[in-house]
Amino acid sequence: MKTLYPLLSEERKADTDITYDGASPSLSVNLDNLYSPHAILIDLDSGKAVAARGSQDRIYPASLTKIMTALLAVEETDNLDETVTLSTRIFPKLYAEEASMAGFQPGERVQLRDLLYGILLPSGAECCLAFAERIAGSEEAFVKLMNEKAKELGMDSTHFCNSTGLHDGNHYSTVEDMAVLLKHALKNADFREAFTSSQHSTLPSDLHPDGFTFYSTMFEYMSSAKVTGGEILGGKTGYTEEAGLCLASLAGINGKEYILVTAKADGTHDTEQFHILDAVNVYNQVGASSNDSQ
């Protein structure tokens, strides 16, 4: 059996390993015709790779980075019902970089749970920095925690430079490492609940007295989440010019759950959403193949 992370403890291995030893032989899934040159499909229950393509090649993860930010947010927060005031100092840089935002305002008092959903659904950079400052005192210190967590999980081909996924040449990963991360993160109930939501309405605040609603950047592009034998349950998109279109998603098909991570599909926010088309393609193959094997 091939074990990817031999230096981890036995207990940690069981939680993070992805293996390739004849995984899911009853499933036939072809990744050759995807728009995404990097892809990995994981049977979540067994942790085995069903199919992989360029899965260990270096990629820029773009906003898939926020999966790690959200994971640390829930792991390092005792009570998500607490509120914090968003520092005015985090906004000018985000505005200048045209980072994606959830819609919170400088100085707004916000519930931490709303910030968590703001990270995973609309990909809000201000939510990332709010958690980073609260947990570690600064984004720089928070990034150290991100890299420590990556090392703990055996993500040996990953290095983070920021909490948002804004492009940096030294901010990189692989789709295999991102699958390891998502596999672990989905074990956390608060993370899973947010990750699998299509929309979220915030509590009223001083600057949004009626609250407001934001939507998943994946689900908003999908006319239906249905695939053969099941449905796509949740996902986190990512895009920068250097990273291309990226997607980490979860689907439930014929009583089993699968993770698919893809990266570097051509396109932009304004083109056809090729990373989502790839997910529908792959999950339809899973459903059809598992139906045939029953």
- Give 184-208 pLDDT, tens digit per residue: 999 999 999 999 999 999 999 999 9
At residue 50, does pLDDT exceed 80? yes
Strand duo 256-265 + 38-43: pairing: antiparallel
| Amino acid letter, residue 286 | V
In the chain, the amino acid numbered 233 is L
Other beta carbons within 10 angstroms of residue 5's beta carbon come to 15
pLDDT digits (tens, 9 = 90+) for 81-103: 999 999 999 999 999 999 999 99
Give the residues across from 59 on adjacent strands: 173
Q: Which are the catalytic amino acids?
A: 63, 66, 123
By CB atoms closer than 10 A (0-12, 13-18, 19+), residue 58 is: middle
E-assigned strands of 27-88? 38-43, 48-53, 83-85
User: Is residue 9's pLDDT more than 80?
Assistant: no
pLDDT at 17: 60
* Planar angle of CA 185, 190, 193, nearest 5 degrees: 90
* Distance in angstroms (rounded) separating the CA atoms of residues 197 and 217: 11
